[in-house]
Structures are given as C-alpha cells and as structure tokens.
A and B are shown apart, each in its own frame.
Chain A
Amino acid sequence: MTHTELPEEHTTTCRVALVGAPNSGKTCLFNHLTGLNAKVANYPGVTVAKKTGTVLTGGRAAELEDLPGVYSLHPISPDEVVAVDVLRDTRNPVDAVVVVMNSTTLCRSVHLLADVLALGKPVLAVLTMNDELTARQGSVDVAKLSQALGVKVHPVVAHRGVGVDAIGADLADPTSWPQPTIMAPTQETQRHHWVQSVLTASHYTEPLPHATTRALDKVLLHPVAGLAVFFAVMFAFFQVIFTVAAPLADGLEQVLGVAGDSVASRISVPLGAAFVTDALVAGVGGVLVFVPQIALLFLMLSVMEASGYLARTSYLVDRLMVLTGLDGRAFVAMLSSVACAIPGIMATRTMPHERDRLATMMSAPLMTCSARLPVFVLLIGFLVPDDLRLMGFSAQGVAMFGLYLAGGASTMVVAAVLKATVFKSGLMPFFLELPPYRRPSVRTVLTQTWSAVSEFIKRAGSIICVATVVLWVLMTFPQHEAETAAMSESQASAYVLEHSYAARVGKAIEPVFEPLGFDWRVNIGLIGATAAREVFVSTLGAAAAAQDPEDPGQALADMRYTSGPHEGQVVFSGPTVVALLVWFIYAMQCVSTLAVMRRETGGWKWPAVAAVYMTVLAYGLAWVAHAVTAAVLR
C-alpha cells in the first residue's frame, strides 16, 4: 500500500499535513506510511524542515507532509513557524491534517488537537506510544476519546507499524472523516476545562513515571557522575574506533589495492593504469577505507539518540552551556554537528532568538564533523604509533578523543565570545522534554547508520572523486616525456609531479604556509580540501602513490621537503602534523556549510564572517602549535 514512487496513472489527489509535538513518534509514523527513511530520534527538534512523501491508497495518492514538532499553534521558534505557515497557507492550502498525539502526554496532545481543529480542515487523530502507556500502567479508552473529541482516533504502535495500514486507508478520502460540529473553546480557562473533561470522559489514567528511567537518571543526570559517565562513554567510543574499525579499514584497503592492481594490470596504456592505481585506488579508495569508522560513529550516535541518552546530554551540558550564554537548544545543534555541520545549522531553527541562533550557527562548524574523521585518523597515524598504549588504552584513541574535546571546547569558547560581544542578549528559559529511555529499534538504528554510510559513499563517488580526479590530472600533467626518458619509473613520476600544474600552485603559496611546516604537496591537499575535507586524504594518497605505487602509506610517511631550508627532512614531522591537526580543527573547509549558512541567514555576510574568522583562527593557532611542538621536541 505504501510506496515512494508514483506510478504514472496516479495523480496526487490531496495534501495532508502531519502535525504533532516534538518526540511524539510523528516521523516514525511518517516513515511507515510513506516508506521513506526520514531521520527519527528520541530527542526533540529533529524534524526542523518539512519533508514530503507519497502514500498510495485505494487507487488515489495522498501527499503527506511531515512538519516540525510543535506543542501548539502559537509558534515561538522558526521551525514552529514553518509548521504553522504550512497549516495556515491559503494560497497552497493543505486539504487535511493528521494530528499525532502521544498517549503518555495526552493532555498536551489534546490541546494541540483543539488548535488544529480550529483551522476548520478535516482532522484525523493518531494515538502513539500506546505500548509505553500500558507498560507504565496508564490507560485510555480510545473509543470514548474518539467520541469526546468528535474525530476518528487511530491507535498505533508506530515503530512496529501496528495500526498504520488503517491510517493509510483513511488518507484516501479526508472528506469522509467525521468532524466535531462544535469546536473546542478558545478562551484559555474554558479550553483547559474542556481538555480535562475530554480526558475524564475517556477514562484517561496518566502513566506512572518510567521506573527504569528514574533509576538510570539518578546516575546519568547527576551533576558529577552524569558528566563522568558522558565522558567515559565518549572516551570508550574512540577506543572502539581504533581497536575495532582500524583493522576493518586495513582489510578494506588491501581488498581495494588488490582489485585496483588487477584492473590496472589489464590496462595497457601506462597513464590509464596510473589513473586507476593513483587517483582511484590510492585517492578515492583512500577515503573509502574509512567506511568502518563512519559506520561506527553513526551507529553510536543513533543508538544514543534512539535510546534517549542524547537528550540527557543536552541537559547535562546545559549547565556548562550557561557559561557560554547559550542554552541546551544550542547544544542540540552542536551535537548534530558531530555528524555534519549542515544538520547542525538547520537545527538552530528551533532557537527562538535570532542572536542566539547566529552565535550557534557561527560556532557549530567547529564541532568535529565526520568529514574530519578520515583526516584525523591519517594524521594521528603519523604522530602516534598504533601499538602505543597509555594506561592500557590505545594512544591513538586517546589522541582522537582529545581532538573531539578540542573541537567541542573551541565551539563553546567561540560561542561564549560571540555571545559576550556581538550577540549580547539575555538567557531564555530552556525547557527540554526528557523522553523515557527506550530500547532503540534495530530498524531505526540500522537505517540511520546505513543512510549516513551511503551518504559518505555517495560523497566519495561524487564530489571527492571529481576533486581527486581534477587534482590528479593537475598533478600528472604536463608529462615531460623528454626529461624523464632516461629516468627510472619512480624517479620519472616524482619528476612529473614536481613539475606539474598543481605543483606550480602548491609552490606558489608555499611562502604562506611555510611557517606552519606545510610543503607544496600538503598545500595541494589543502586546496583540494576546500571542496571537501576528505579530499586532503585522497590528494596526498594520490601524490604518494605516484612516488611509490607499491606502498603509498610508507611513501607518505617518508615524504621529504624537496627544497627550501628543510630540504631532505621528513615533511610529516611532529610539528607539521600537530599544525595540520590544529588547522583542520579550525579551518572552514566546507563549501556546503557556507551555502547552508547563506540560505539560513539570507545573505553572504555571515558565511563570509565565518570563513574569515575560522581561517584566521586556523592559521594563527596552527602557527602557535607548530612553534610550541618544535620547541618541545627540540
């Protein structure tokens, strides 16, 4: 019954909006109805823009719009405005509204339903979280609730899809939905009494507080123990990245290498073979080998989200956030930026104050996003031996944890500075609904992880691949056949690289980056990284493979300065690697982030400000880091 594609004979016959409080199971229901995989989480504020999907039912097609979560139709933040605008739009009106009511917080849901009914459109109610209501010894008589409200009420267990088909069938014809003849009162006290009366008539028993949740929260929300657990969880996670994902990544690298060699050996044109081994395998493949790390990162994030723990971290960190002058809403945006700054910036739409929103948007790109992960893994590999242990822990894992902490701390500091200066404003009260802990649904977790992994693979196949191929071409031409005729193969490719178009550019900007220890090849990588941070890894991979196709990893570690005062010394020395790490923490190397900032702020002013301040910070702090590390190592 539910499909995502529309067979040609069907035309959309009606537009139905899906409205509900944050964290009411709305998006989960949307996914089941439309067969789409919109992101679902156990914390409020995940749906910040509307999504649409199609439900085919009884030969007709309904277009379903998943709106951001709202508690009422009196919006206070931009994402709530989105929902209300769609509902009140008269030029392109929705035909009907499905209201998702969380049965564990029915009082509030009935208030929202009353608001929606007042719009005068056909309304259908869906009662979610009934399994949880029963488990917590609450109850409601659905038939009586439906009678009292005057609308059809469908009880569902959205995450298992129970009861969803019946809703799909009803979507075929909203005009047939029963509607109350008398609307709920609009005056506040009268409205409140109406809600009480409806709940009494439907024999509603409020659920008991979730026992497990209360017990867990005693520890997990404790001001000291809670923060300690949070940091321990993050620390353990980065250990897992290096102990579990790294061997998988090595295996993947070998498979790609063998596959590349076997393809290359069948290509008779030397340049063609070099393209496969250098640009595709060592370059794009060098990025693809990070799939296990990316998968693990998103697996962890989605388990934390779906279980309800991520919402707690906002609460825990809210205490620290107060120091920055922002609240837990900002932290939700910053937390999203761990995956990618783009959803993070979109999440700022839940913030009611423009100043707070801008301060968050300006600082969130400093959070360590998943595109930085491959770069950090590569660079940490130069700096920290993989068998080094610190008190039994993988030293590489500890280093990675430190980098994430540095990213987080920098975000907070920048946000605090911005709030204390340009975006001065009072603190808004922050209410966050802490959902009960729930066992994450395997489907939700796997879908979310897969969607992140496939997004990463798509990036590798599109923007990263294109940028790498362009850079490979620039690093391979001109060919200098006359000069290299007498040289050995590796000497020849090193000569070509050093006299390529790319090298000219890399060398031209060498004076700028010389104080940070970056040579012309690193500079080429940095230029590539403006397209996407991962291109840094693929570019260096391609450059190293050109020098030693047998073992590009070793070639990269052994890369030496070809000129200047450090000629002959190893490029990836301690000071250079530390400077590069610092550079990647701060530099705004993401065109997509700038584009989203422009869209969200409605102009180029703020993206320009972000690009400038982040570049200045990156350069300055990388220079300091280089100087300090060099002094320490001397």
Chain B
Amino acid sequence: MMLVLFHPVAGETKQTARWQVTSPSLPNRRLLAPPPALAALMGTVLAGVDAGCGAVYTTLCPGRTWAEDADQVRAALTADLQGLLASGQLADWGRSAGGGSDQLPPSKGYRWQWAPADVDVAQVRQVAQDAVGPLAAAHGGAVHVLAVHGSVVQVKLAGACRGCNVSSSTVQDRLATALMAQVPGVDAVEAV
C-alpha cells in the first residue's frame, strides 16, 4: 500500500502553510474546491485551500494560529490524501495524462476537483530565465520560451545548445524540473 507522506514548509505569509506531499505524487494542478475533510474546516479554521507543484496550500482564518490548528489541518489533509489514494483517481490520471496533453485530471465522481491547466506564461519565462538562463549562457547558448499549449511548455534552444544532445537534455531536464516545481499546471517541456 502506498504511504501518504508530507511535511509542512513555510508559506508566503504567516497564515499560509505549504504542505509538501512527497507521496503520492500529485497532479500539478490547482484545485476547483477543497477536498472534503479540509472543506469541513473551511470558514472556521481555514480561509482557503489550494494545490499545485506537488503541494497543498492552506490558509488560516484571521485570528487562528498554527500552534493550535496545525494538528487538525494535518489530520484532515491525511484523510483527504488517503481518500485520494483509495479513490483510484491518481491511477486514472496517470493512464490518461501519460503524454502530457492539456487534458484535465478526471474530476467527475471524485472528491478532489482539479482545475484545468491554466499556466501563467510570464511566470514560466521568469522561472526559465532563473533556472537555466545562466547555465545556457555559460555555454554560449540561450533558451527561449515560445509558447504554452495546455500543460506543455514549448522552448527553443538557441546558439551552442542547439544540436548538442548533452546540453539540450540537461537544459530540458533542469527546466522541466524547475517549472513543475514552481509553476502550477506545467506537466512537460518540449523542445522545438
């Protein structure tokens, strides 16, 4: 049986927590609505729940503190993740999204409601520049983000990167890892 493993890391604000889920591996999508156990805390404990980049984000209602509420949020998240595993939704998602299209993770009938990929192109460009810009430049090349189709980012390797198998795969791998970890909705990077 697959374990549910996660740990909290600091969020953007004091009221936000980012629960990094290392098992199972989650679809890189935002949520349309909180899953049931977390939803039950909405309004009283939690002001917001979202997901993306392998994490679930929770925001506390004003006046609440993590010192008193962390345990119940943790318990609710555990229950929801166990529910997600038991539902088989992830297995279905794995089968249907293998190629990395803009297809939605199946939502119908499941308790986790994933949003369609809605990738912020400006954010993609920023992350791409930070993650591989210096590396490509150091080798006399450059990486240009051409377009985003659904959950797939199309890039063009220019200069010295072009035609070099090693550099292209290095750049592409690194870029894909960075984008999937930082930009919700990205599933793959394609070089054209």
Contact = CB atoms under 8 A, between A and B. Distances in A.
Interface string A186-215: 000010011011101100000000000000
B70 A198 contact: no
Contacts of B17: 181-182
A200 B9 contact: no
A457 to B, nearest CB: 54
Q: Which of B8, B20, B78 has the most CB of A within 10 A?
A: B8
Interface in B1-46: 3-11, 14, 17, 20-23
A315 B10 CA distance: 44
A181 B14 contact: yes
Contacts of B70: 182-183
B71 A185 contact: yes
B117 to A, nearest CB: 24
A148 B6 CA distance: 10
B8 A180 contact: yes
Interface of A is mostly: helix
B74 interface: yes
Nearest to A181: B66
B71 A197 contact: no
A148 B20 CA distance: 8
A546 to B, nearest CB: 77
A181 B3 contact: no
A150 interface: yes
Interface in B63-109: 66-67, 70-71, 74, 78
A180 B22 contact: no
A213 B7 CA distance: 35
A197 B10 contact: no
Contacts of A194: 5-7
Nearest to A194: B7
Contact of B7 (A178, A181, A198): A198
A428 B67 CA distance: 39
B7 A197 contact: yes
Nearest to A200: B22
B22 A201 contact: yes
Nearest to A196: B5
A197 B6 contact: yes
B184 to A, nearest CB: 18
Contacts of B10: 150, 178, 180-181
A114 to B, nearest CB: 10
Given A181-B14, A193-B4, A148 B9 contact: yes
Contacts of B21: 197
Please tell me the size bucket of the interface on A: 10 to 19
B48 to A, nearest CB: 16
A554 B28 CA distance: 91
B64 to A, nearest CB: 12
A184 B19 CA distance: 12
A147 interface: yes
A150 B9 CA distance: 6
A148 B14 contact: no
A184 B21 CA distance: 14
Interface string A446-469: 000000000000000000000000
Q: Which of A181, A182, A185, A193 has the most CB of B within 10 A?
A: A182
Contacts of A198: 7
B169 to A, nearest CB: 19
Given A150-B9, A182-B66, A200 B14 contact: no
B14 A196 contact: no
A182 B8 contact: yes
Contacts of A190: 74, 78
Interface in A5-25: none
Contacts of A148: 7, 9, 20
A196 B22 contact: yes
Q: Which of A184, A197, A201 has the most CB of B within 10 A?
A: A197
Contacts of A147: 9
B9 A197 contact: no
Contacts of A183: 67, 70
A190 B8 CA distance: 12
Interface in A141-183: 147-148, 150, 178, 180-183
A524 to B, nearest CB: 71
A198 B8 CA distance: 9
A200 B66 contact: no
Contacts of B78: 190
Contacts of B67: 183
A552 to B, nearest CB: 73
B20 A197 contact: yes
Given A180-B10, A181-B14, A182-B17, A200 B74 contact: no
B23 to A, nearest CB: 7
Contacts of B14: 181
A200 B3 CA distance: 13
A197 B74 contact: no
Nearest to A187: B71
A145 to B, nearest CB: 11
Contacts of A184: 7
Interface string A119-141: 00000000000000000000000
A193 B21 CA distance: 11
B135 to A, nearest CB: 17
A355 B22 CA distance: 47
A201 B7 contact: yes
A147 B21 CA distance: 14
Contacts of B4: 193
Q: Which of B5, B6, B14, B21 has the most CB of A within 10 A?
A: B5
A200 B5 contact: yes
A248 to B, nearest CB: 60
B66 to A, nearest CB: 5
B168 to A, nearest CB: 23
B23 A200 contact: yes
Contacts of A185: 71, 74
B171 to A, nearest CB: 20
Interface in A581-614: none
A186 to B, nearest CB: 9
A148 B66 CA distance: 17
Contacts of B66: 181-182
Nearest to A179: B10
Nearest to A186: B71
A196 B3 CA distance: 10
B131 to A, nearest CB: 14
Given A181-B11, A183-B70, A197-B20, 17 more contacts: A150-B8, A180-B8, A181-B14, A181-B17, A182-B8, A182-B70, A193-B3, A193-B4, A193-B5, A194-B6, A194-B7, A196-B22, A197-B6, A198-B7, A200-B22, A200-B23, A201-B22
20 contacts: A147-B9, A148-B7, A148-B9, A150-B9, A180-B9, A181-B10, A181-B66, A182-B17, A182-B66, A183-B67, A183-B70, A184-B7, A185-B74, A190-B78, A194-B7, A197-B5, A197-B22, A198-B7, A201-B20, A201-B22
Interface of B: 3-11, 14, 17, 20-23, 66-67, 70-71, 74, 78
The 4 A-B pairs with the shortest beta carbon distances in the complex, nearest first, are A200-B22, A197-B5, A182-B8, A197-B7
